[in-house]
Chain A
């Protein structure tokens, strides 16, 4: 199976600016920072793939390598089977890079003039360009605002124009770097719906999104790669990542009472960890437990019933992406293949 994107042990190290003191004391010593370390990924056709990571994790560097703006130090990166180092020109023909930075436009030109300029640079001219510009303006709901100067656009409109520009060439593969950054929740949701409905469902595009927004990643992505400190910490569908991190089973119980005798009993049961308990406004007690074996739940519930705790509800709890993210990025020592 051929992947739309494939990176093999991709590494990028940037030279760092030395201080004057370092130049004097160690003039020949290299000072580098590693932005990507041995990153291996495969992105399938027509999927939304999320690169999730905190600021400075290496997300943007990865996208820039794939868009041929930065050369890798080691390893290989292939886009549509083409090498980013050798085939930059051909790769740029097949991709759309949606740059969220509003400074990437000419502020004193109108939205339409900006799009016309970038269409020319993408070999779209004349009638073809005009039609395509109208199409992307329509797609992004910007037709009525197209003849306003870019400087007069709201943040949401600027972001939409960035998307319109990225779609000018009708690319099969679209890169997005934090597409909803600095947008209000409603506009952000609108953009997310647009990506999911128009780009992925209707146009069957492949989308690679870099984001630190967990909700965005969870809502939109078929698969996610969590990147932290230049390395991929986990990659796959969300349930796969969950299993990878949380090998134990989590349950929530609601009890009417939580007698000390029950607490002591449970503490003696093997393979059960009481994670957390709290009093609910209804007066019930909410308990979260972790089990090594699913069957231990029967013992747990039986003992609660026997000791008159009044079991009101029991349900399994899945780790949220936020918990997974924290587990992988905050003081984590996990290493994943």
Chain B
């Protein structure tokens, strides 16, 4: 407790606090730009932090990471553009809320969810990081494979209106993600002799095309002057959001635990955390049909998990030296360059720095609340006041430069335009962008883990080892339940509708 209070005092030093505020704001702004990721934001400031005091440098990087994980929600809600893959589930309900004139409510939900999730994740990191890191070692490729499958089952839940088209979209995304080098032999596959396809289809330009460019085309169909015809900024919105958070404490806690848990698993990361959290929230809700149409709980589920994952992803990095994701890997690089060794050394010899860094992250997650409420949301909602005639071309240019900056190659822009045009026509025939995006994001992870599982199974002499492990079996069962629940609900609703129709006919006769 004394160590915690001492660390908190260090983090609340005026200079450190100012640094946290600036870094969190910078992260939130960079995260909100299409094509910019938290990795880019952190990497950008690496040269700046090297000459700094180790604690200040680490807090700066951590705060940017925290801010960027929140920032991407703004573009996802207002423009249907997921700044990063983790924010994809935020678009499912966030953008419909914008179209319904409830953008302010959605942005507040994302902010409150991010603050809650971020603080929760860091508190877990502070209290239990050594034993949680050991827990993460229980997960092998088989468990990761089933975890990714669980994320993919969201497709079935999202497409209850047309399950075949939803699954087809998911399959299409997974097929596209197969293009490039196979993870087993390293041979090019499905490239049709095109050297440019050997590196595969880059995820961010593809997502920018599917969500951003296609959305611009869709928005041009509607001749209204602005994106959202109504925008209400009710003073009672914050009170309503707090009440919803208290009423739906189950959503907040479940999403936080999912975020932390997925975060501690090396290689899993934000997209899986937010997708599984969204899927589970929808599955446990009494009215799952509300999701995808503007349910505020959907925004909470995605954003809480997204941000609680930040603390979780730093657990294996600090305790074992295994980065949970690319962001944690960059921070690990900074940690090593400061001469700090992760693991027991970090906790024993440099425990002051370790705890002060965690306290800094906690302060950063809390700083997000006033920063988001007074600055970021006000700035972000200005977008809704820009006429579509000016906004649509500007979005296209920003998306293009965002795609280009990923690889510094115009090939990325070509991918973005191709996915944009194809995405528009596919949406017209009922194949939505969300399942394709999920397939693209989770497909490569599923393949990597499946290939490793297959190798282990071959070495063991039994393919059953892919399923027949305690955690794998539970995850496989959850996958099955997750697929069957929406199908069963759709069947039940269909029967109820048929019964109601026949009842009405009988009454009429």
Q: Does A pair with B?
A: no
* Chain A interface (Cβ < 8 Å from any Cβ of B): none
* Chain B interface (Cβ < 8 Å from any Cβ of A): none
